[in-house]
Chains A and B, each alone.
Chain A
Amino acid sequence: MTLLQLSDVTGGYTRKPVIKGLNFSIGKGELVGLIGLNGAGKSTTIKHIIGTLLPQKGEIRLNGITLSEDIDQYRSSFSYIPETPVLYDELTLKEHLELTAMAYGIDESTLKLRSEELLKEFRMEKRLNWFPSHFSKGMRQKVMIMCAFLVNPKLYIIDEPFVGLDPLGIQSLLDQMDEKKKAGASILMSTHILSTAEKHCDRIILLHEGRVRAQGTMDDLRRSFNMPTATLDDLYIAMTKEQDHE
């Protein structure tokens, strides 16, 4: 069953499109990796999915609806972890969690239950009343992650999640993603850490210069590049070289 469907999506910040005719979908319970060089259009693609940019052409359906059909319903269906943490300097960690809970209509007892679990998992229990100015980059990232998982949505959109996290943090995040996947949630994750992507993603979408260059399971990709024993790193390099020759 398809949860997210991009059909022929073209768009960007100005008239000149950054992403061109994107077609891909994410099924229920699937973890999909969005891979590409700097400037390939990963973040732009994500901005179109979360609705801060509108496609110039094509449409994006999340759980069957577009943003313009029902904005509240659309927004309730996903949570987003941006590449650089975006926190409110004036709110404590606890207040970030409370604010998120209110926005997504989570009641107080559920908030308490879920946030206790998350705080323990990410070892932030003692930081509840801290302001973000006292947090390291990794801790800021953890606040974003906890807020996203608190919502328990159908789709998680995670932009470059591992940068700045310590090894324990990365493991906790992967565990959380695994758990949510098992419970039926879908995840779209953009990353440069290819070994992790190869190990954890069900499917990979290779983005190059604003277009989908290849997509599928690792086996699909190996077949399409005709490299039967390749790792994702090999495929990635092959893709960029191929483009250079053209």
Chain B
Amino acid sequence: MNSLYEVWSTRFNHYINEVQKYMRYVFTGHLALVLVFIVGAVGYQYSEWLKVAPNTFPAEWIISLVVGVILAISRPVTLLREPDQVYLLPLESKMSLYFKKALNYTFWSQVGLAVVIYIVAIPLLKAVTELSTTEIWLGVLFIAILKYLNVQIEFNYRYGNRGENVIIDRITRALLSILTIQTALTINYTLAIIFVVLLIVYNTSLKKKVNKQPIPYEHFVKLEQNRMMAFYRFANYFTDVPHLKGSIKHRSWLNFVYNIVPFSKKSTQSYLVYRTFIRTDDHFYLWVRLTVISGVIAFIVNIPIVTWIVAGALAFATTLQLKYALLSSKDFRMDRLYPVKESQRKEAVQKVLRLFMVVQAIIVLFCSIGQPLFFVPAIIILLLNEITFRVSKDPSKHDYSY
């Protein structure tokens, strides 16, 4: 039936457009620049290390481990939606056409990551093993075969078991994938092929179960929703994704922070903003992530000017993104009606950011101890927080409908 192909291609185009729309912001964001910088630095250190890497370094095992685990994570991209469980029900028997397309896309969208990691590791293989070029490139072939099987199996497993205990299936496949690559890289091709055959047998047995079962729409729809949410959350670090509701955690170990807000009309917005910041995963983890990156760079890179620039760029990114996240919201909130000064919100956000940027500065300070002028990054962080907050535009200005 052609219409199912059409359903798939319409959805696929819509999905790609959606992804492109947000990826544009991701690649033009300031964080992307920092990441490019970090990739460059790590790449440089890697090439330096290769020059002195010992021959006994267990490259085959480490590469098989990393690539094998990545191969095992083969979440199917089905693009199914909630209404499908009603509207596509009459087409149940023809859905295999749709899923074939879906799994094809899943394979091509996921095989890249495993191959790229393997290719990055090729210089390492050349440095510490005696594999010939053909033997090394044969590894890529194995990775492609393994990815294809992993995608099929994870789909069939989820189909047959409605996603229950998928972790067991993943561990099984991860082990077999690791062993396949490891044996292939140590020229034990017979063993490698036996492991691949085992995976094929596993897949066939799952398929028998699948043929007897109705499509577990609920599971696949939920999986799809989670996947899109994860993408939107990611995109939300770079741009404003409308109607994105971040998940909330209590984080009661940070309750003591709220004690600095007194019970008074003047602190209404502070009461709210402290909790919003600490309990919303998006906001809190954004700060945690950027702080960790800043700290790690300060700790491992020994060129002062580099740590200064990174600390500054990350402090700028943290302040700007959190200011935007906490001040702009197009949705109606009850505090818009509160008889308190409009400026209270902005002042409250500034206070919260100041506090958490002081913490960031302290963490980076500790990480850079031992370097010349170790206190400079901390000062840069505090300065950039103040300047960024003052100079950047106020996102709340355009939101009010009055």
- Write the residues of chain A forming the contact surface with B, with a CB cutoff of 8 angstroms: 13, 50-54, 71-76, 80, 82, 86, 88-91, 95, 98-100, 102-105, 108, 131, 133, 147
The residue of chain B having its C-beta at the shortest distance from the C-beta of A108 within the complex is B263
Judge whether A104 and B276 touch: CB under 8 Å.
Answer: no
Judge whether B337 and A50 touch: CB under 8 Å.
Answer: yes
Q: Closest CB-CB distance, A153 to chain B, in whole Å?
A: 10
Q: Closest CB-CB distance, B251 to chain A, in whole Å?
A: 10
Q: Closest CB-CB distance, A206 to chain B, in whole Å?
A: 27
CA distance A103 to B334 in the complex (A): 10
Judge whether B402 and A54 touch: CB under 8 Å.
Answer: yes
Judge whether A53 and B332 touch: CB under 8 Å.
Answer: no
Q: Which of B127-135, B213-221, B266-274 contacts A (4 or more CB under 8 A)?
A: B266-274
User: Contact flags (1/0) for B281-322 with A, using CB distance below 8 Å?
Assistant: 000000000000000000000000000000000000000000
User: Contact flags (1/0) for B185-220 with A, using CB distance below 8 Å?
Assistant: 000000000000000000000000000000000000
Q: Closest CB-CB distance, A9 to chain B, in whole Å?
A: 14
Which of B264, B272, B337, B341 contacts A99, CB < 8 Å? B272
Contacting A at CB under 8 A, from B241-289, are 245, 248, 250, 263-265, 267-268, 271-272, 275-276, 279-280
B267, B276, B334, B341, most chain A CB atoms within 10 A:
B334
Judge whether A88 and B265 touch: CB under 8 Å.
Answer: no
* Given A86-B332, A89-B248, A131-B248: A80 and B272 interface contact (C-beta under 8 Å): no
Count B interface residues, CB 8 Å.
Answer: 26
Residue pairs across A and B with Cβ atoms less than 8 A apart, 7 shown, are A76-B339, A88-B333, A103-B268, A104-B265, A104-B339, A105-B265, A105-B339
B265, B279, B337, most chain A CB atoms within 10 A:
B337
- Write the residues of chain B forming the contact surface with A, with a CB cutoff of 8 angstroms: 245, 248, 250, 263-265, 267-268, 271-272, 275-276, 279-280, 332-341, 401-402
Shortest Cβ-Cβ A-B pairs, 7 listed? A103-B338, A75-B339, A90-B279, A76-B339, A72-B339, A103-B268, A102-B268
CA distance A131 to B251 in the complex (A): 13
Measured between beta carbons, the chain B residues less than 8 angstroms from A74 are 339
Which of B265, B272, B337 contacts A51, CB < 8 Å? B337
The residue of chain A having its C-beta at the shortest distance from the C-beta of B338 within the complex is A103
Which of B248, B265, B275 contacts A102, CB < 8 Å? B265
Q: Closest CB-CB distance, A127 to chain B, in whole Å?
A: 15
CA distance A51 to B335 in the complex (A): 13
Measured between beta carbons, the chain B residues less than 8 angstroms from A86 are 332-334
* Given A52-B332, A102-B265, A103-B338: A90 and B401 interface contact (C-beta under 8 Å): no
* Given A91-B272, A91-B275, A98-B271: A72 and B334 interface contact (C-beta under 8 Å): no
* Given A72-B340, A88-B276: A102 and B245 interface contact (C-beta under 8 Å): no
CA distance A72 to B343 in the complex (A): 13
Q: Closest CB-CB distance, A96 to chain B, in whole Å?
A: 9
Judge whether A53 and B402 touch: CB under 8 Å.
Answer: yes
CA distance A108 to B265 in the complex (A): 11
Judge whether A131 and B339 touch: CB under 8 Å.
Answer: no
Measured between beta carbons, the chain B residues less than 8 angstroms from A80 are 337
Measured between beta carbons, the chain A residues less than 8 angstroms from B341 are 72
Measured between beta carbons, the chain A residues less than 8 angstroms from B245 are 89
CA distance A82 to B335 in the complex (A): 13
CA distance A13 to B336 in the complex (A): 17
CA distance A51 to B332 in the complex (A): 12
The residue of chain B having its C-beta at the shortest distance from the C-beta of A74 within the complex is B339
Judge whether A104 and B338 touch: CB under 8 Å.
Answer: yes
Judge whether A103 and B335 touch: CB under 8 Å.
Answer: yes
The residue of chain B having its C-beta at the shortest distance from the C-beta of A79 within the complex is B337
Judge whether A52 and B402 touch: CB under 8 Å.
Answer: yes
Q: Closest CB-CB distance, A53 to chain B, in whole Å?
A: 6
A71, A102, A131, A147, most chain B CB atoms within 10 A:
A102
